[in-house]
Amino acid sequence: MKERRLLTPAVITASAVCGASLLIYIFSRIFPAFAEWWTRYPSQFLRGALAALTNFIPFSVGEMVLLLLIPAAVLYVLVTNKYICEEDGKKYYRALRPLIIIVLVLITTFFGVFGPCYFRHTLDKNLGLQKENVTAQELKFTAEQVVKEINDISVKTDITGATVLPCGYDELVKEIKVSFKDYCQKNEYISWFNSNPKLVSLSPVMTYTHISGVYSFFTGEANINFNYPDFVMPFTIAHEMSHQRGIAREDEANFVAFLVCINSENQYVKYSGLFNMLEYLLSALNKADKNLYKEFVQESITQNIRNELIAYNEFFKKYSDSTASQVVGSINNSYLESQGQQAGSASYGLVVDLAVAYYKTK
């Protein structure tokens, strides 16, 4: 009879730890000061430990887990169903216990490690910025500053007019890590630990979801889609590394990525940060005042910037109306709303509020 029981010491321990992580998550949602402390210290250590555990593996463990999930689930159902048909309770419970523990560990990792990061103090508070609702004129002014900085950078282009990475992936990661480490040393709210962003092997397929990168909280990995145009990659790497270091809200991860990129010694990394920010500003300005947007595009957008945008639009045509993007977008939107980001997927674009506040201080 003892062999048939479900609640073994391992299951009870995993359940207790999961319960404790749930309490931490609830406290974080109620008390931002607690969430800030938890994110800066205990969570930081745990996120760094997870990243260290997978850092030596050359491929994305998170991607591998997701690829094996369906066949593993099918195999598990077939095996357990056999035990049920044979009325072999001993083997059934033996197979069920590991699954329960795995699920509890995944829940614990989110509730206790990454989930609280959504409820820490806002980035504008940590940076000392005055974030307010912005006007169309302020968006235009900020976009003008960004365009000026882009025009000061010399980058190589291909025959289509798209800019080209001047180095390989490993060298690019090295440059971003140097800039990120320097940024962390200058800002108390974020800490540095070493980790290497992983390239997703199925990046061409991933592009149909309109996702350029993803942070795998259960493996501690920053995963990068290599199929996007070159100017997207440095910004994406910095964005996912921001999540890895406790910047959970999407607009804030975008802004930290921007700050890391523009302070890089590498001109292409700097260009990537500026250009990605310009895209968000153009989108926001177009929604705020279409006439002002048209005026800005006609007067301020140079041919080089136009070429990059045209090349990007050409690249994205085959991926624009995919069913996968609609499904994943809906799931992501619901997930972000559940974590207190009321704007859902639109929260990525709220980075313009931070950008306007930033350029007001320059």
Q: What is the mean pLDDT of the chain?
A: 94
Predicted pLDDT at 244: 98
**Per-residue pLDDT averaged across 163-171, rounded?**
97
Q: Examine the pLDDT at 207 and tell me if it is beyond 80.
A: yes
Average pLDDT, integer, range 320-341: 89
For residue 1, what pLDDT is reported? 37
Tell me what pLDDT residue 344 has: 66
Report, as an integer, the average pLDDT of 150-163: 95
227: how many CB neighbours lie within 10 A of its CB? 19
CA-CA distance, 148 to 305, in Å (whole number)?
11
How confident is the model over 108-123, as a mean pLDDT? Answer: 98
271, 78 in Cβ contact below 8 A?
no
Burial of 361 per CB tally in 10 Å (0-12, 13-18, 19+): exposed
The Cα 3–Cα 139 span in angstroms is 66
pLDDT in tens, 55-95: 999 999 999 999 999 898 888 888 888 777 777 677 778 88
Tens digit of pLDDT for each residue in 209-245? Answer: 999 999 999 999 999 999 999 999 999 999 999 999 9
47: pLDDT strictly greater than 90:
yes
Query: The whole model's pTM is what?
Result: 0.95
Predicted pLDDT of residue 77: 83
Give mean pLDDT, residues 174-197. 97
User: How confident is residue 192, by pLDDT bands cut at 50, 70 and 90?
Assistant: very high
- What pLDDT, in 10s, does the model give residues 244-276? 999 999 999 999 999 999 999 999 999 999 999
Question: How large is the average pLDDT for residues 45-49?
Answer: 97
d(CA 219, CA 31): 27
Cα separation of 109 and 24, whole Å?
11
Q: Is the pLDDT of residue 310 over 90?
A: yes
Each residue of 89-98: pLDDT tens digit?
A: 777 788 888 8
Give residue 7's pLDDT: 82
pLDDT of residue 303: 96
User: Distance from CA of residue 2 to its chain's centroid?
Assistant: 45
pLDDT surpassing 50 at residue 20: yes
pLDDT confidence of residue 4 = 52
Look at residue 2 in the predicted model and tell me its pLDDT: 44
pLDDT value at position 345? 67
- Kindly report the three-state secondary structure assignment for every residue of the chain: CHHHCCCCHHHHHHHHHHHHHHHHHHHHHHCHHHHHHHHHCHHHHHHHHHHHHHHCCCCCHHHHHHHHHHHHHHHHHHHHHHHHHCCCHHHHHHHHHHHHHHHHHHHHHHHHHHHHHHHCCCHHHHHCCCCCCCCHHHHHHHHHHHHHHHHCCCCCECCCCCECCCCCHHHHHHHHHHHHHHHHHHCCCCCCCCCCCEECCCHHHHHHHCCCEEEECCCCEEEECCCCCHHHHHHHHHHHHHHHCCCCCHHHHHHHHHHHHHCCCCHHHHHHHHHHHHHHHHHHHHHHCHHHHHHHHHHHCCHHHHHHHHHHHHHHHHHCCCHHHHHHHHHHHHHHHHCCCCCHHHHHHHHHHHHHHHHHCC
Tens-place pLDDT, residues 337-352? 999 888 766 667 799 9
* Tokens (6 digits) for 68: 């094996």
